[in-house]
Amino acid sequence: MTDLLVWPILLPLLASLLALVFPRRGDWIGGMASLAVLISAAWLVHSVWDNGVIAVALGGWQPGLGIALRADGLSSVLLLMVAIVALTIGIYATRYFDNAVVRARFWPLWLLLLAALNALLLSGDVFNLYVTLELVGLTAVALGALGGSRDAIVAALRYLTIGLLGSMAFLAGVVVLYAAYGTLDMVALASVVEDRPATWVALMLMTLGLLVKSALFPMHFWLPPAHANAPAPVSAALSALVVKVAFYLVLRLWLDVFTVALHPATAWMLGLLGAVAVLWGSYRALRAPRLKLLAAYSTVAQLGYLFLFLPLLAGLPDGPAREAAFGAVVLFALTHGFAKSALFLGAGVIQQRAGHDRIEELGGTARALPVTTFVLALSGIALIGLPPSGTFLAKWQLLAAAVETGQWVWIPVVAVGSLLAGAYVFRVLGHAFAPGDRDGSALAAGREELPALALALVATVVLGLAAGGLWGFLDFAAMSPGGAR
């Protein structure tokens, strides 16, 4: 049963090798592998549902000497999200890259990125996490440069440099942890860390590295050019998945490993940076001239919301209120994953049909591409946080937790951020519904529009309705025996 844990990593890894050796079979190999990863992820979620935390000691060596893979509620739902989004983006990519040579470059890297994301989510060892961070970073950079334009390569190189700085800081933190406590296993670390300088420095260095990678203000400057210049399927994955796993690691380290060393002031500082990110990212999204740039700045803002949850989680005592807030941050991350990938795929469709994605010149899009316009509206609903999207419930819990802990300061931030999000979404829709000179009378949906539609529907409808189950799942997985908490 514990073998379940290796499949989401090994399947895409092997498929990546095959896609390089058989370049003409890339679509087939990639599709099959993505489907198999989805099945293994669903199986894993099911198994965590039945048994609680699942762990395997690789090589049979006890964790510490060897490396453990672990899956709990948090990592398994994120794994499932990654699998669904990656499969859908992969299907879209076969239409987006109409050139077989470019697809032959895309598939090995794409499958390797999928393996890396899954490896990161399942890893239970801090040094192994560093290796997975490097793997995610390198594949993401190479995918971002696939477009081949000068801007794309410049942005990718900047992304590479900044990503390496981030992983170096993370590695330095790992070094301090190992020097002080003599183990790299996260569960073992959680039981031995003490509240003292070595732990503070390790926590600071690792968090700093992850903040750079998750593009929290003011370390967000690399994200908009990198995400806006990558090919649309890649942008979708970068915004929806790659920055998300860095945030997952922050959550994992703060809540599971460094619990004793966590001071409310530190959490407040990250919350404040998150608040600035919400306001600044939303403002820049409102002023963005291009749809993909808007989506990228919106990612900066949405990640800000995720960091707002940290001071709340630090301020709430263990109990139902804290579990509600924890479920809300996961729901927020999931909804953003689906909504943002839908938005980027929609932007990709528009860019390919119209030859550009300048927002001012979107007139006529609603007539020519009704399905894609619907996708923009649906993902907009999720980004603003209107019901029935998952974001609505998550923001509701965020406000409830802010009241509960007396941290009133976050409430106006959420209010203003949501208003700005409404403004930038309606700005796009306003232009899209304006009459244009491009008369496309075809009301039929093109096949390349459907993946985005599926993602947007999950974000807006499915996650909103199924959220109750998510809370139940996370609670159960957290309480079960063997859980780190």
Closest CA to 152 of 216, 245, 221, 235: 235
Q: Rank residues 132 and 299 by Cβ distance to another protein and give the closer one.
A: 132
d(CA 452, CA 450): 5
Our finding on whether 253 is near another protein (CB under 8 A) is no
**DSSP string covering 69-108:** EEE-HHHHHHHHHHHHHHHHHHHHHHHH---HHHHHHHHH
Shortest distance in whole angstroms from residue 17 CB to another protein: 4
d(CA 323, CA 313): 9
Residues 6+ apart with CB under 8 A from 360: 289, 431
Our finding on whether 182 is near another protein (CB under 8 A) is yes
Shortest distance in whole angstroms from residue 352 CB to another protein: 14
Residue from the set 1, 148, 466, 479 that interacts with another protein by CB under 8 A: 148
Contact 459, 389 (CB under 8 A): yes
Our finding on whether 164 is near another protein (CB under 8 A) is no
Neighbours of 182 (CB within 10 A): 11
Ranges within 204-243 binding another protein (CB under 8 A): 204-205
Shortest distance in whole angstroms from residue 427 CB to another protein: 32
Q: Which stretch binds another protein (CB under 8 A): 109-117, 282-290, 310-318, 407-415?
A: 109-117
Q: Which stretch binds another protein (CB under 8 A): 1-9, 212-220, 297-305, 376-384?
A: 1-9
Our finding on whether 260 is near another protein (CB under 8 A) is no
Q: Is the peptide bond before 311 cis (omega within 30 degrees of 0)?
A: no
Q: Which stretch binds another protein (CB under 8 A): 200-208, 258-266, 377-385, 388-396?
A: 200-208
Distances from the Cα of 208 to the Cα of 161, 190, 269, 315, 427, angstroms: 15, 20, 12, 21, 35
Helix (H, G, I), strand (E, B) or coil at 191: helix
Instruction: Give the DSSP letter of residue 364.
Output: T
Instruction: Give the DSSP letter of residue 65.
Output: T
Residue from the set 96, 181, 247, 248 that interacts with another protein by CB under 8 A: 181
Ranges within 52-71 binding another protein (CB under 8 A): 56-61, 64-67
**Residues at the site binding another protein, with contacts judged by CB under 8 A:** 2-3, 6, 10, 13-14, 16-18, 20-21, 23-24, 56-61, 64-67, 98-102, 104-105, 108-109, 112, 115-116, 119, 127-128, 131-132, 134-135, 138-139, 141-142, 145-146, 148, 153, 169, 172, 175-176, 178-183, 194, 196-198, 200-202, 204-205
